């Protein structure tokens, strides 16, 4: 493992974990999926729902939808007994509707394979549709209290900068954090890393001067400080290059996010929204008009974290509408007959 921590790592690790937990205990975040900031174990199904939503949607937007969504689908059974359309309808505002379908499929898999329980191992969770390693680890840590860390982009940055001081791979970061996680507080530790990463250790401009880890518990900042005051750098590497940068492309910084507005993905979301609102068969031309109206409506953002781009020309919209519709039909989201278009049941 590439790490800048060559001396006193055990002491540093213990102090680091303690500093992280002390800070988070004093600065709880009130988010609906955290039960008003309480750090107890939560129902694994509710963790799966929250993490599926948070995967590609901003937390502020998820906070608006999550409570009513969970009230409607409080268990895997409640969702499994519902239709796909009902789930999609409740998903409006979050975007990336494929996640809702995968969640619905997961609920049915849970009910049929675990009638009186919930998948409780990494291997079992990874069998669920749409569940990757991050989500599986989140369910294990937050739902079952297992000593693993779900490594999202925030935890990855904090680990690279503060703990390792070098650009660890994702697998190395997982290994490092799993070794540090306090067995009695895996949820609190994971959530503290999320919060530190999103509030201070941001991708573009980390707020080091206000960060509770600062140069005392952050290897990268400590190294930079030693350089600036002419200290000995030979005992502790102090990379000037940001360790959080992608090692495969160190000059890139944050990858450029293409405009979302008017993209094929945006059109897909708007087609689904129009069909959900139409509640039945829609003529293709009517559907296009509805989609175009939504596209022009500045309030029609679908909850993605992506920024809206410049205005989109009609020919481009027509072309992308056709492509999006073709995708949705071929993927089984939408049924097209000579009578019109409708959501698949």
Residues of this chain that bind ligand SF4 (CB under 6 A): 158, 161-162, 200-201, 206-208, 211, 213-214, 218, 220-221
- Quote the least distance from Cβ 211 to ligand SF4, whole Å: 3
Closer CB to ligand SF4, residue 94 or residue 193? 193
Closest-CA residue to 269 (of 27, 144, 98): 98
Q: Which is nearer to ligand SF4, 181 or 244 (CB)?
A: 244
Residues 240/224, Cβ–Cβ less than 8 Å: yes
- Tell me how far, at minimum, the Cβ of 152 lies from ligand SF4, in Å: 15
Q: How far is the CB of 335 from ligand SF4 (least distance, A)?
A: 49
**Contact of 46 with 77, CB cutoff 8 Å:** no
**Measured between alpha carbons, how far is 74 from 77 in angstroms, rounded to an integer?**
8
Quick check: helix, strand or coil at residue 244?
coil
Strand partners, 340: 337
By beta-carbon proximity to ligand SF4, the closer residue of 200 and 260 is 200
**Known catalytic membership, residue 51:** yes
Burial class (CB in 10 A: 0-12, 13-18, 19+), 314: exposed
* CB 8, min distance to ligand SF4, A: 18
- HSE (side-chain half, CA atoms, 13 Å) at 214: 6
- CA atoms 110, 76, 272, 32: torsion sign: negative
Q: What's phi and psi for 143, nearest 5 deg?
A: -95, -35
For the beta carbon of residue 171, count every other beta carbon within 10 angstroms. 11
- For the bound state, the minimum distance from the C-beta of residue 158 to ligand SF4, rounded and expressed in Å, comes to 5
CA distance 98 to 199: 29
Q: Tell me which DSSP letter residue 34 carries.
A: G
Q: For ligand SF4, give the closer residue by CB, 208 or 320.
A: 208
What's the closest the beta carbon of residue 219 comes to ligand SF4, in angstroms?
A: 8
In three-state secondary structure terms, 284 is helix
- DSSP class of 33: G
Distance of closest approach, residue 64 Cβ to ligand SF4, in angstroms: 28
**What whole-number distance in Å separates Cα of residue 27 and Cα of residue 20?**
11
Residues with Cβ within 8 Å of residue 66, at least 6 apart in sequence: 32, 33, 49, 50, 53
Catalytic member of 51, 89, 146, 191: 51
CB closer to ligand SF4, 11 vs 205:
205
Please, are residues 197 and 209 in contact by the beta-carbon 8 Å criterion? Answer: no
Q: Quick one: 50 or 159, whose CB is closer to ligand SF4? A: 159
Size of the chain in residues: 345
Q: In this complex, which beta carbon is closest to ligand SF4, that of residue 51 or of residue 195?
A: 195
For the annotated catalytic residues, the residue numbers are 51
């Amino acid at each position: 493992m590439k790490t800048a921590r060559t001396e006193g790592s055990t002491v540093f690790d213990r102090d680091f974990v303690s500093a992280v937990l002390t800070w988070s205990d004093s600065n709880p975040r009130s988010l609906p999926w955290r039960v008003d900031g309480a750090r107890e174990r939560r129902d694994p199904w509710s963790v799966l729902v929250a993490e599926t939503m948070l995967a590609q949607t901003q937390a502020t937007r998820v906070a608006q939808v999550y409570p009513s969504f969970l009230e409607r689908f409080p268990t895997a059974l409640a969702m499994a007994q519902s239709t796909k359309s009902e789930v999609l309808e409740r998903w409006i505002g979050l975007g990336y509707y494929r996640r809702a379908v995968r969640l619905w499929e997961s609920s049915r898999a849970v009910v049929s394979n675990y009638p009186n329980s919930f998948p409780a191992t990494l291997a079992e969770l990874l069998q669920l549709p749409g569940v990757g390693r991050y989500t599986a680890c989140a369910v294990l840590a937050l739902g079952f209290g297992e000593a693993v860390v779900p490594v999202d982009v925030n935890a990855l940055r904090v680990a690279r900068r503060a703990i390792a001081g070098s650009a660890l791979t994702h697998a190395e970061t997982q290994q490092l954090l799993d070794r540090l996680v306090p067995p009695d507080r895996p949820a609190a530790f994971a959530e503290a890393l999320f919060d530190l990463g999103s509030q201070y250790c941001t991708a573009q401009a980390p707020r080091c001067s206000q960060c509770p880890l600062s140069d005392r518990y952050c290897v990268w900042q400590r190294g930079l400080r030693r350089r600036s005051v002419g200290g000995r750098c030979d005992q502790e590497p102090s990379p000037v290059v940001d360790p959080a940068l992608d090692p495969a492309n160190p000059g890139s910084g944050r990858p450029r996010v293409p405009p979302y507005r008017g993209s094929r993905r945006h059109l897909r979301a708007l087609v689904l929204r129009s069909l959900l609102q139409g509640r039945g068969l829609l003529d293709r031309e009517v559907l296009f008009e509805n989609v175009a109206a939504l596209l022009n409506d500045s309030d029609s953002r679908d909850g993605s974290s992506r920024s809206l781009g410049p205005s989109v020309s009609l020919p481009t919209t027509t072309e992308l509408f056709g492509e999006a519709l073709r995708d949705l039909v071929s993927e089984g989201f939408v049924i097209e007959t000579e009578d019109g278009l409708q959501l698949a049941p």
